[in-house]
Amino acid sequence: MEPLLEAGEMRELDRWAINEKQVGVDELMERAGEGLAGVVARRAPAGRIAIVCGKGNNGGDGIVAARLLRQAGREVEVHAVWPPEWMGEDAQRQLKKLPGPQPIPFEAGRLNKAHVIVDALLGTGSSGVPREPAAGVIKEMEAARAPVIAADIPSGVDATTGEVAGPAVHCVATVAFHRPKLGVWIRPGKAYAGDVEVVEIGIPRGGPARPDAGLIGAGVLRDMPRRASESTKFSSGNVFIVGGSRGLTGAPSMSALAAMRAGAGYVTVGAPASLELSFTVRLLEAMMVGLPEDGSGHLDPSSEEQLLKAIGRADAVVLGPGLSKDPGAQSLVRAIVPRIDVPLVIDADGLNALVGHVEAILPQRRWPTVLTPHSGELARLLDTTSEEVERSRLRHAREAAAITKAFVVHKGDDTLVAAPDGRVAISRGRAPGLATAGTGDVLAGVIGAMLAKGMPVAQAACAGVYAHVRAGQIAAAPHGPDGVIASDVISALPAALSA
């Protein structure tokens, strides 16, 4: 997992390198500026460059880049947003080395004469909503025609959370120093960062930061148990799916197929008895258990004991796909969740059943639990609005994990896997093909399969998220993301898992 840093962790590392490892701050800034200049030169090989500098070290990086680009023969205009003498002393030293014209006071009109703009205004030292004059300058950079490249973090994006509380700059690329900050991978910040390019700035290994955030990569599949010649259908992973209601039989079917395509060797669907035929015709390889229902195609609370017995020897349970909001089915969920003594994934209407009861029910569980809410579901669980959740995705995912003691997979292009202890893993996303009905059911089934194979819960959740995104990309490869359907994603799972 590639570590992601909070602004405070980056500062701590920076101080450690300077104080304990005798790395000069000038050296760090030189490397940062060099990395920044390199990316600017590669992305904008010709034309005028405008570098917009703040008064902190982020501005200092901009000054270094200006020097190196001028030395390489480029036309560079340096805009100082505050009087240059207000710059910190580290940046002042760089300013003295700047050849050619000195910084001009920021001039919005001149931005349009540039081919590329460098945002070296606010970095990890920024806190809160941008204040003037930074706020106005951010709006001008945003309005300018030229593409913007950010030094370390787009100005206006909170490096630690990805929150954007005021004006911010949409960049084509962000040059992250040493390591990316969380904010470039979490929406809404992610939408401002563009391509993230990481440059090394000379911070030695072994520093004090113990990042509790990381980016999910292909490595999560390394430890996934694979079938071997001695495997049986049961040892490959036995998943039990609980859900389905009249009109909602596709969801549990897709979870079941996804679990099988993700490697589970034995999958059973427990659903209202009157719907048995729909499952039987659709699912050739999965088992079906018809459960007591209310007569109109919804699971009934009276099925509790029979359901628990049917779950029997399953290695993992997926609860919720297609369950419906029927009060009987919902009360069944509340009754069985504490009694399912295997790892459990709760999705969709399984989550809705817990609204108002999360703190009472989930911490009672003796086995690992994975919740897979999208923002609307998470908002209901936390008694807030989806807009509020979208504004602070990380905070809400962590809050839900802390109060439920479950792993929370907060879905989105930047799916966050939050652990009850505060650690978080983030998906790179970029699988627009997944924006279609049923892909959530697929994800729940895949995570169920990973849990059933015996993977530790954090790895199972991350492996499921990774495989799902890969499958979404593979499904979109032939003709693009439009027209991808959840069944295509299921079909692509074996390829995604072999990658």
Ligand X SMILES: NC(=O)C1=CN([C@@H]2O[C@H](COP(=O)(O)OP(=O)(O)OC[C@H]3O[C@@H](n4cnc5c(N)ncnc54)[C@H](O)[C@@H]3O)[C@@H](O)[C@H]2O)[C@H](O)CC1
Q: State which residue, 30 or 326, has the beta carbon closest to ligand X.
A: 30
Cβ neighbours of residue 202 closer than 8 Å, sequence gap 6 or more: 17, 23, 27, 28, 31
Q: Does 179 bind ligand X (CB under 6 A)?
A: no
- Pairing verdict, β 407-410 and 416-418: antiparallel
Binding residues among 134-163 for K ion as defined by CB under 5 A:
150-151, 155
Q: How far is the CB of 66 from K ion (least distance, A)?
A: 14
Rounded Cα–Cα distance for residues 254 and 247 (Å)? 14
- C-beta of 58 vs 436, nearer to ligand X: 58
Segment interacting with ligand X (CB under 6 A) among 52-60, 221-229, 390-398, 410-418: 52-60
Contacted by 119, from K ion, ligand X, none: CB < 5 to 8 Å by type: K ion
> Which residue, 68 or 81, has its beta carbon nearer to K ion?
81
CA distance 445 to 247: 20
Contact between 57 and ligand X per CB under 6 A: yes
* Site mask for K ion (CB under 5 A), range 109-138, x = bound: ----------x-------------------
The residue sitting closest to ligand X, measured at its beta carbon, is: 125
Among 28, 242, 307, 444, binds ligand X (CB under 6 A): 28
Instruction: Please state, in angstroms and as integers, the Cα–Cα distance from residue 420 to each residue in 74, 363, 408, following that order.
Output: 51, 11, 8
In whole angstroms, how close is the CB of 123 to ligand X at the nearest point? Answer: 2
Please list the helix, strand and coil fractions of the chain in percent, rounded to the nearest 5, in that order. Answer: 45, 15, 40
Q: Is the peptide bond before 188 cis (omega within 30 degrees of 0)?
A: yes
- Told to check if 3 binds ligand X by CB under 6 A, we report no
Can you read off the two tokens belonging to residue 364?
């009672």
Taking CB under 6 A as the criterion, the residue among 124, 245, 278, 415 binding ligand X is 124
- Rule CB under 6 A: say whether 60 interacts with ligand X: yes
Is 60 annotated in a binding site? The answer is yes
Task: Give least dist CB 77 to ligand X, A.
Answer: 20
Query: Which of ligand X, K ion, none does residue 10 bind to, with CB < 5 to 8 Å depending on kind?
Result: ligand X
| CB distance 238 to 452 below 8 Å | yes
The residue written with tokens 């089915």 in the block is 329
The secondary structure of 127-181 as a DSSP string is -SSPPTTHHHHHHHHHHSSS-EEEESS-TTS-TTT----S-----SEEEEESS-B
Where b means 16+ CB within 10 Å and e means fewer, 158-192 reads bbbbbbbeebbbebbbbbbbbbbbbbbbbbbbbbb
Contact between 131 and ligand X per CB under 6 A: yes
Ligand-binding site membership of 123 (annotated): yes
Give Dmax (Cα) for the chain: 83
Q: Are 25 and 13 in contact (CB under 8 A)?
A: no
Tokens 């999958």 belong to which residue?
Answer: 267
Stretch near ligand X under the rule CB under 6 A, chosen from 25-33, 249-257, 259-267, 366-374 = 25-33
Residue linked to tokens 């009672």: 364
Q: List all residues 6 or more positions away from 41 whose beta carbon is below 8 Å from its beta carbon.
A: 69, 72, 74
Q: Does 106 bind ligand X (CB under 6 A)?
A: no
The partner in contact with residue 214, picked from ligand X, K ion, none with C-beta cut-offs of 5 to 8 angstroms by kind, is: none
Give me the half-sphere count of Cα atoms (radius 13 Å) on the Cβ side of residue 452. 34
Interface with K ion, residue 347, by CB under 5 A:
no
Q: Is 238 annotated as a binding residue?
A: no
Among 3, 125, 338, 481, binds ligand X (CB under 6 A): 125
**Collapsing DSSP states into helix, strand and coil, what is residue 51?**
strand
Unique residue bearing structure tokens 């729940």: 444
Does residue 54 touch ligand X according to CB under 6 A?
Answer: yes
Nearer to ligand X, 88 or 328 (CB): 88
Q: Which is nearer to K ion, 141 or 262 (CB)?
A: 141
CB 394, min distance to ligand X, A: 19
The CA distance from 169 to 142, in Å, is 5
Output the CA–CA distances (angstroms, integers) from residue 71 to 67, 74, 99, 426, in the order listed: 6, 7, 8, 39
Please report whether residue 323 would count as binding ligand X according to CB under 6 A.
no
Q: Which is nearer to ligand X, 59 or 420 (CB)?
A: 59
- Residues contacting K ion: total by CB under 5 A: 4
Binding-site residues for (6S)-NADPHX, please? 57-61, 123-129, 152, 251, 322, 374, 441
Binding-site residues, please? 57-61, 119, 123-129, 152, 155, 251, 322, 374, 411-415, 440-441
Binding-site residues for AMP, please? 411-415, 440
Binding residues (CB under 6 A) for ligand X: these are: 10, 14, 28-29, 32, 54-61, 88, 122-131, 134, 151-152, 177-178, 201
Binding residues (CB under 5 A) for K ion: these are: 119, 150-151, 155
